């Protein structure tokens, strides 16, 4: 029933669009979401979990890098944190012992009792060591967090749902920082990219409904102008237009040929 209503709406709108003054423009189906996934660190590819054309869900594993070197770095960071925490507890205990000793001397001999000046000097020294160790613990904890982030990038996961359209890696390849490894495109949220000449720019506006046709599968629907964007090259005298539409359950993919019909200006 809903499909019949859509077809009826399309035919009604198409009837109003297709006049002698209507303009048919060609365009290309593009994805509204494209994810380019690369490496932040240098290393060898250990495993690749996807191949071209695979559909992936958010958080699915894509590939994994060798972790031997990173395992050592992680162990060193954890060891440094553990040692600095032990040192922190030592200086805390040391401060408690000296303060206790100071209290005993104060009760027995008074503020000017034997060794009081020496105890005060020890307390200041221990306090300085305690503050220094706290800084060490903080830095070590930050290092552990950084290594946790590194490990998240050793096993790369899909940032969003989509289809793998480009895969530049295989097991054993060396990945360099910034190198494109995998590209994923969202095939559910599609748009049509159209170039307009400046002579017809006054016939379109954002939010305007247009007839949309995908000739290869004989699919027709109603789209809406999402954005009108100046072309990056001013010498072309062209304006880019993005038209959003509902693909439904049809096999429509980025790169397909499409048409949009701009109605006669009234």
> Which pLDDT tens digit goes with each residue over 234-261?
776 778 899 999 888 888 888 899 999 9
How far apart are the C-alpha atoms of 107 and 100, rounded to whole Å? Answer: 11
What is the dihedral angle through the alpha carbons of 128, 131, 135, 138, rounded to the nearest 10 degrees? 160
The answer to whether residues 125 and 115 touch, using CB atoms and an 8 Å cutoff, is no
Taking the model in full, what pTM does it have?
A: 0.57
pLDDT at 146: 82
pLDDT in tens, 173-223: 988 888 899 999 888 889 999 988 888 888 888 999 999 999 999 899 999
| Number of C-beta neighbours around residue 5 at 10 A | 9
Please state, in angstroms and as integers, the Cα–Cα distance from residue 80 to each residue in 26, 71, 85, 87, 139, following that order: 62, 14, 9, 11, 9
pLDDT in tens, 30-79: 988 888 898 887 888 999 999 998 999 988 999 988 876 777 888 888 89
pLDDT in tens, 67-91: 767 778 888 888 999 999 999 999 8
- Beta bridge partners of residue 175, listed in sequence order: 43
Burial label for 80, CB within 10 Å (0-12, 13-18, 19+), is middle
Strand (E) or helix (H) holding 27: strand 23-31
Reading across the β-sheet that carries 155-157, which strands appear in turn? 155-157, 61-65, 43-48, 174-175
pLDDT in tens, 87-139: 999 989 988 988 888 888 777 766 665 667 787 888 888 888 989 999 999 99
Smallest Cα–Cα separation from 29: which of 263, 209, 242, 225?
Answer: 242
pLDDT in tens, 156-176: 889 888 899 899 999 999 888
């Amino acid at each position: 029933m809903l499909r019949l209503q859509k077809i009826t709406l399309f035919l009604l709108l198409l009837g109003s669009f297709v006049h002698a003054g209507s303009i048919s423009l060609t365009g290309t189906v593009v994805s509204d979401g494209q994810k380019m996934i690369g490496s932040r660190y240098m290393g060898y590819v250990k495993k690749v979990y996807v191949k071209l054309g695979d559909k992936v869900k958010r958080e699915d594993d894509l590939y994994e890098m060798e972790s031997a070197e990173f395992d050592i770095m992680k162990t060193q960071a954890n060891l440094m944190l553990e040692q600095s925490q032990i040192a922190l507890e030592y200086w805390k205990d040391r401060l408690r012992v000296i303060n206790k000793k100071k209290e005993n001397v104060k009760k027995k001999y008074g503020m000017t009792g034997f060794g009081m000046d020496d105890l005060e000097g020890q307390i200041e020294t221990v306090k300085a060591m305690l503050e220094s160790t706290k800084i060490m613990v903080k830095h070590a904890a930050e290092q552990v967090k950084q290594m946790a982030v590194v490990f998240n990038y050793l096993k790369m996961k899909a940032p969003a749902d989509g289809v793998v359209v480009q895969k530049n890696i295989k097991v054993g390849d060396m990945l360099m920082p910034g190198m494109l490894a995998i590209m994923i495109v969202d095939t559910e949220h599609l748009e049509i990219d159209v170039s307009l000449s400046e002579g017809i720019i006054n016939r379109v506006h954002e939010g305007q409904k247009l007839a949309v046709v995908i000739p290869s599968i004989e699919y027709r629907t109603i789209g809406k102008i999402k954005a009108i964007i100046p072309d990056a090259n001013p010498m072309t005298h062209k304006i880019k237009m993005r038209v959003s539409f509902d693909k439904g359950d049809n096999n429509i993919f980025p790169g397909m040929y499409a048409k949009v019909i701009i109605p006669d200006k009234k």
